[in-house]
Amino acid sequence: MTDISLSGGRKLVYRHRLVVRITHWFNALAIVCLFMSGLQIFNAHPELYWGPKSTFDHPILSMSADTDDDNNDYGTTTIFGHDFDTTGVLGLSSNGNGQMVERGFPRWITLPSASPELAVGRRLHFFFAWMLTINGLIYMGSSLLNRHVQRDLVPTKQDLSAVGKDIVNHIRLRFPRGEESRKYGVLQKITYLAVVAVIVPLMILAGLTMSPRVDAGFPFLLTLFDGRQSARTVHFVIAFTILGFSMIHIAMVVLSGPINNLRSIVTGWSSIEEDKAP
Amino acid sequence: MTDVKKSTRRAFMGLASAGGLLTLTGCDKLISTPWFMNVIDSAEALSRSVQRAITGSRPVAREYAESDISENFRQNGTTNPQNASYQTMVANGFADWYLEVGGLVDKPLKLSLAALRQLPARTQITRHDCVEGWSDIAKWTGAKLSAVLDIAGVKPEARYVMFFCADPMGMNGNYYESIDIPGAYQPQTILAYEINDQTLPVAHGAPIRLRYETQLGYKQAKYIMRIELVDSYAKFGRGKGGFWEDQGYEWYAGI
Ligand code: HEM
């Protein structure tokens, strides 16, 4: 699509294809619902282990509630044997009627918010897991065919030599405004590529490894993740990795011009500065 | 920071948290509307048919080594059925227990524990995956369900094998479960009478429990009294095919 000149030395450039825009928003919806229903499922047994089976006496991570000598309830999160007081958030939190109850993650971050709601949590989770997977296949399939991945996401040699500069610019919150902003910066390329080609696929595989039926058909998954309980732990850790990515991603969108960024990922068109003739 | 920036930030945070709360309560509302959950539940059929297509109709779960066996296999669900006739059977070592096999079969059966132990058996060290998320490993020995079904002769119109159990579940009647015919004929589907080389204790479902590897824990019915072959499970319990299914869990428990 050709650029459209605007007044004031600016122009509109076509930045995102329709498939990318549509799959981006289905993906965002699926990720939010998966994260929140996933924490609901986690709450059914808020403990993580490594290996094929649960070593109940030695969880890697656990959340629980207890009562102290003064009869006060408190919530504890134990990570690698170290206890942290997480009263009000993890282990012990409000049930929504002002009463404190034992639950892993609090109601404002689980779906449904009430707990225990494992059955509904699972049904939601698997629905959105299918949405994420089908949507992801459409995105990946089309983006490999139309070479979006190869052209716009895989960093070039030239890109890679500018990583240092790009890091400094990010720290200074200096973002390109002119011709340079037509394309993703190198940090953006590396991050997006890692998310779509490594992190999300690993997430899906770790999730499938928790399915006893899939394990029977593809036992190498159990070997890949070192067992079903480790797959559950990896799945949990990746969930928070994706949360971390999403928060930085949204922060960057806001810091580098939220209106223009949102217009471009909704309509496809982005406004950039005309480079001044040398 | 300038005041303008501060107030924009405040407005932004306010909007974000209001939005968060709205979506939260909105989602809880949506979840309680039937049409929405019908859409959500379309995923179950998809999981079932795709998993079946990619793993074949006779999948075999991984079998583990003796050294992998859990020290204390969790006693889960009912651990001692509060049922007078069951307790009488326990008291005399299940001498007058027999397994009834009926419904859509050519020849209804009554099998004593001794008769069941004569049938083709299988021993397997497998992983038990609870729907809550934990896993335990144990060694199971039992009669192949396929052997029992072959003796009884499954009628062509039969689609499910129902298991009726001795453990009362409050107002909901006794525990029950159902599996499909291909599942019943999977090589590792057995009626287990031993755990870790010991006679199955009451806590684990004496005298027999189902081991249907490739499916989650709630399918592994304990305290089995009667097996019935049916073309539909709709007329039992609340019609969803099992005690936990009636509480909202998926019938397909392969994931
Ligand atoms: C809900 C809040 C979100 C907002 C406002 C948002 C916004 C955006 C914007 C504006 C872009 C275009 C960036 C540019 O043109 O420089 C983008 C691209 C992208 N976003 Fe998001 N995003 C959100 C959530 C997510 C989530 C949850 C994920 C994944 C976990 C994600 C993954 C991506 C990826 C991979 C791209 C690059 C797509 C491509 O070009 O192929 N986003 N997002």
**What is the CATH number for B17?**
3.90.420.10
Q: How many domains does chain B have?
A: 1
For range A254-268, the mean pLDDT:
96
Sequence-separated (6 or more) residues with CB below 8 Å from residue A236: A42, A48, A61
Average pLDDT over residues A207-235: 98
Report the DSSP pairing between strands A10-14 and A4-5.
Answer: antiparallel
With CA atoms as reference, report the closest residue to A230 among A59, A105, A38, A34. A59
Between strands B121-129 and B109-112, the pairing is unpaired
Cβ partners under 8 Å of residue B137, min gap 6? A52, A53, B64, B68, B69, B70, B73, B125, B126, B127, B128
Which of A:52-71 have CB within 8 Å of B?
52-54, 56
Calpha distance B82→A20 (Å, rounded): 59
Q: What is the 3-state secondary structure (H, E, C) of chain A?
A: CCCEECCCCEEEEECCCHHHHHHHHHHHHHHHHHHHHHHHHHHCCCEECCCCCCCCCCCCEEEEEEECCCCCEEEEEEECCEEEECCCCCEEEECCCCCEEEECCCHHHCCCCCCCCHHHHHHHHHHHHHHHHHHHHHHHHHHHHCCHHHHHHCCCHHHHHCHHHHHHHHHCCCCCCCHHHHCCCHHHHHHHHHHHHHHHHHHHHHHHHCCHHHHHHCCHHHHHCCCHHHHHHHHHHHHHHHHHHHHHHHHHHHHCCHHHHHHHHHHCEEEEECCCCC
- On whether residue B107 sits in a domain, the answer given is yes
Q: pLDDT at residue A165 above 80? A: yes
Residue B1 domain-assigned?
Answer: no
Cis previous bond, A116, omega within 30: yes
Residue A183 has pLDDT above 60, yes or no: yes
A232 — contact with chain B (CB < 8 Å)? yes
Q: What is the mean pLDDT of residues A256-269?
A: 96
Tokens at A245, concatenated: 């990515």
Assess if residue B2 is contained within a domain.
Answer: no
Average pLDDT score over chain A: 96
User: Interface pTM (ipTM) of the complex?
Assistant: 0.93
Ligand 1 pocket member A194 (CB < 6 A):
no
Instruction: Please state, in angstroms and rounded to a whole number, the distance separating the CA atoms of residues A229 and A2.
Output: 52
User: Rounded CA gap, B207 and B193, in Å?
Assistant: 6
Confidence of residue B18 (pLDDT cuts 50, 70, 90): low
Q: Which residue has the tokens 């107030």?
A: B7
Instruction: Please give the torsion angle defined by the CA atoms of residues B207, B211, B212 and B213, in that order, rounded to the nearest 10 degrees.
Output: 170
On whether residue B3 sits in a domain, the answer given is: no
Domain assignment present for B146 = yes
Residues of A with Cβ-Cβ distance to B255 under 8 angstroms: 126, 208, 210-214
Q: Indicate the Cα dihedral angle B109, B115, B120, B125, nearest 10°.
A: 110
Which pLDDT value is given to residue B2?
42
Which of B209, B193, B71, B202 is closest to B141 using CA atoms? B193
In a domain, B168, yes or no: yes
Residue with tokens 């650029």: A3
**Residue of chain B nearest A217, judged by CA positions:** B55
A178 alpha carbon – ligand 1 mean position (Å): 21
CA distance between the termini of chain A: 25
Which pLDDT tens digit goes with each residue over A189-202?
999 999 999 999 99
The predicted model gives B13-42 an average pLDDT of 76
Segment B36-63 shows an average pLDDT of: 95
- Model confidence at B1, in pLDDT bands (50, 70, 90)? very low
Alpha-carbon distance of A236 to B252, in angstroms, equals 23
Cα–Cα distance measured from residue B241 to residue B160, given in angstroms and rounded to the nearest whole number: 9
**Distance from C-alpha of B138 to C-alpha of B136, rounded to nearest angstrom:** 7
Q: Residue A253 C-alpha to ligand 1 middle, in angstroms? A: 8
Residue in B163, B161, B173 with CA at minimum distance from that of residue B81 = B173
Q: What is the pTM of this model?
A: 0.93
> Which of A143, A265, A266, A271 is the best mutation target for the ligand 1 pocket, counting ligand atoms within 8 Å of the beta carbon and taking the most?
A265
Question: Does any domain span residue B254?
Answer: no
Query: Mean pLDDT over residues B30-58, rounded?
Result: 94
C-beta separation of A230 from A209 below 8 A: no
Q: Is the peptide bond before A52 cis (omega within 30 degrees of 0)?
A: no
**B71 near A CB under 8 A:** no
Tell whether the model's pLDDT for residue B9 goes beyond 50: no
Q: Kindly list the strands in the beta sheet with A10-14, ordered across the sheet, starting from the edge strand earlier in the chain.
A: A4-5, A10-14, A269-273
* In a domain? residue B60: yes
Nearest-CA residue for ligand 1 atom 3 is A250
Count the alpha carbons within 13 Å of A211 in the hemisphere toward its beta carbon: 24
Residue to mutate, A13, A17, A249, A260, ligand 1, most ligand atoms under 8 Å from C-beta: A249
Range from A85-89, A96-100, A129-133, B233-237 carrying the lowest mean pLDDT: A96-100
- For the segment A30-51, the average pLDDT, to the nearest whole number, is 98
For residue B33, pLDDT over 70 is answered with yes
Contact A253 CB / ligand 1 (< 6 Å): yes
User: What is the number of other CB atoms lying within 10 angstroms of the CB of residue A14?
Assistant: 15
CA distances from A265 to A14, A15, A192, A252 (A): 10, 8, 14, 14
| Residue B124 lies in domain | 10-246
pLDDT(B11) > 60: no
The first and second tokens of residue A260, run together, are 């223009």
Report d(CA B68, CA B75) in Å as an integer. Answer: 18
